Structure 1
Amino acid sequence: MPISNLMQVGGNNSMINETNSSDPHSSLENVCNRTELRPVAIYLPPLLETNLSLALLYIVLMSILMVLGTFGNFLIILISTINNTFNKAGKAFMVNLAIADLCVAGVADPMCILGVVKGATFFDDKLEFCHFIASMCLTACFCAFLSLTMLTINRCFYVCHNTFYQKFYSRITVGLLCITCWIIAFLFEFPNFVGWGDHTFDKKNHQCIWDRTASLSYSLFVSVCLIGGPLVVMAICNIRIVLEIWQKKKSIYELDSDGHYSSLKVWNETVRTSKTLFVIFTLFMMCWTPYAVVIAIDIGDKLSMETHLFVTMVAHTHSSLNFTIYFISNPRFRRSVLGLLRCRCIRVVKGPVSQSSESAERKTLGMVVNSISL
């Protein structure tokens, strides 16, 4: 049976009678004895055919998120890679988060649009591809949760326990933690391959995704542990950071002699970074809490298609927001990005640049990297 739109109607096996009419004189009893049973197939058209206005709105919004998320996360990764700026632990976690968000915005989001346009029949002969998209999307989301949690914990130790921070967060340790995030994320998704959960084309989400109705225990595990757990940890860390900043604020002019911070400038940068991280956490909570609640309470699949479509789209929105947060909240980062783009445009128009121009471009890249405070 295809994953899509060939669904059995009424109970477990809805059937119709098909009689053999080769003998026109057969009795009613013989007709009944020759009755054969066949499942009824029902075609479920794509959303674009059944609800044009809703489909167009969804396509427009998802297209904006796709472009914004792909461009923004790719730019973060590109700048960090060019300059090899992994000396600060927070930046490594930020890049890991950007890679996970890029998988969602650049791969999963286009498949969501395709599902709305083509419907489940498009994936009937592409089951492995559908399972891959569903697995990749959930793994990337879990990795984003873990990376953001690691980033918040890193910032908490930097602000509240700076001595421990300097000893623990080496390049090797941070690299291993980033790789571990991906391994753990896949292990959390792997139960969908072995029966504790499943992958499917969800007729209400109109996309290839994990089957939220396959197992109540796994759905609760995703909702409470994999989404709720990181939220609790990040909330605790942000509270600790706010309290520490509030205490240090009283003696802000003595920071130059404080063993934890080298200068007042570093402290001001730490405060600004912590505020940005708190905004990222707040938006993460706003995007993923509705989805966590819906999958936990609707294991029977009773809620409307619009509800599931909306909360899933909002959850995917978070993968496109982090770059925007930096661009809006950090004037230095905004100026540096615009300078980088302007520099690239000039290079394309004028051809190869001189050595002095190349030095200026490197300087611009350095400004961008320095402006990414995490």
Structure 2
Amino acid sequence: MMTGTSTPEVFVDYLQSHPAETSILIAILLVLTTIGLFGNVLIIGAVCVTKGLRTVANVFVVNLAICDIILASWVNAFFIAGAFLGEKWFLDRKALCDIVSFFCLSACLCSLATVAAIAVNRYVCICRKSIYHKIYTKLNTAIMIIVMWVYSCWLNIGAFNGFGKFTYDKKMLGCIWDRDANRLFTVFFLLGVFFPVGIVTVAYVLIFVRVYTSKKKVSDQNKNGKQTNMAKEIKLAKVLFGLFVVFLLMNLPYGLALIIDVGDIFPTVIWTLVVQLMHANGSGVNCFVYGFSNKAFSDGYRNFCWKILGICGQKRTAPGPTSSSVTQT
């Protein structure tokens, strides 16, 4: 009779073995979960209540916020549960662990695909303006969103059919795909990470080359002292590029750890840092990037909060595209 390896004799329970460190981790995750959930709800709410923000470009921003809500709430909640309850609790509930892993992997890949879609959208808007409205119709945009979600599930299909598998990761302290079960599965996951990153890099390089070569023709102000449409688009592209840089800084360490730690020798603290505190919570900074760099979003946040609190006794004028840096496309 063969000895199985899926249920180890000694189960990981860091709350028992490392109570101080695990308690600090749980406290940090609770804070990050609150920020990520509230911040991304603010983004969606701002777009919903602000007419000037209801644009094609921001449809992708909303989709990114939805992905990030899944990561910041659902996935984080089970990371916290994993730290509290330990490995055995999840191994005894394999179906639940699979569901958590499914949402984690899907939201992660869809988030990456959406960041790439945003970059391509900005490239077409700035560098191929004549065909922008032909490509980004309401129907085409909806199809793009659906395709991204279908694409994000492709690795899950492999995991459910034996190509890879989901498990409780002893070092990440939560349910996720088994990075050691099938290295080919890991390679495909990394392709799903670095391919969108490559698309984003190329798109923004082309955008900034275009901006540099046409800087004499494009100025922040026209003869009447108002921003030109192109200047607004370029400013928005810079904001979204800043978002990508933050996104890359929060996710790149995870990809590098997957590549380097082939023998699973990295300590738990490394995997906890790059997965729970960075990879799964990079979304929490998005609302700050938008708010500090785009007046339309900061105004939209205020409008949304007033509506939620129900204290808007007088009508507040939602910021439109003529009063801020919001894109009109």
For normalisation by structure 2, the TM-score amounts to 0.88
Aligned to 1:334: 298
Q: Which has the larger radius of gyration?
A: 1
Query: Does 1:285 pair with 2:252?
Result: no
Aligned to 1:345, which of 300, 309, 313?
309
Aligned to 2:73: 106
> 1 CA distance for matches of 2:245 and 2:294?
17
Alignment of 1:105-184 (within 5 A): 105-184=72-151
Computed over aligned residues only, the root mean square deviation of the Cα atoms, in angstroms, reads: 2.9
Instruction: Write the letter of the residue equivalent to 1:290.
Output: P
> 2 CA distance for matches of 1:83 and 1:279?
23
Query: Does 1:322 pair with 2:319?
Result: no
Aligned to 2:206: 240
> 2 CA distance for matches of 1:86 and 1:186?
29
Q: Cα offset for 1:217?
A: 0.9
> 2 CA distance for matches of 1:329 and 1:251?
24
1:371–1:107 CA distance, 2 compared to 1 (3 A): farther
Aligned to 1:296, which of 229, 234, 259?
259
Query: Does 1:70 pair with 2:37?
Result: yes
Alignment of 1:173-252 (within 5 A): 173-223=140-190, 225-252=191-218
> 2 CA distance for matches of 1:372 and 1:255?
15
> 1 CA distance for matches of 2:201 and 2:233?
18
Conserved 8 A contact 1:87-1:171? no
Q: Cα offset for 1:87?
A: 6.0
Q: Cα offset for 1:181?
A: 0.4
Aligned to 1:24: none
1:327–1:198 CA distance, 2 compared to 1 (3 A): same
> 2 CA distance for matches of 1:84 and 1:117?
44
> 2 CA distance for matches of 1:127 and 1:365?
49
SS at match of 2:263: coil
Q: Cα offset for 1:193?
A: 0.8
Conserved 8 A contact 1:255-1:267? no
Q: Cα offset for 1:138?
A: 0.5
| Structure 1 spans left out of the alignment, 5+ residues | 8-40, 258-262
> 1 CA distance for matches of 2:162 and 2:90?
21
> 2 CA distance for matches of 1:60 and 1:300?
30
Conserved 8 A contact 2:48-2:54? no
Q: Deviations over 1:117-155 (max 9, x none)?
A: 111222243211111000111001100111111111000
Conserved 8 A contact 1:199-1:208? yes
> 1 CA distance for matches of 2:220 and 2:311?
46
Instruction: Write the letter of the residue equivalent to 1:174.
Output: T
1:365–1:273 CA distance, 2 compared to 1 (3 A): closer
Aligned to 1:33: none
Conserved 8 A contact 1:212-1:299? no
For normalisation by structure 1, the TM-score amounts to 0.78
> 1 CA distance for matches of 2:73 and 2:4?
27
> 2 CA distance for matches of 1:281 and 1:309?
22
| Structure 2 spans left out of the alignment, 5+ residues | none
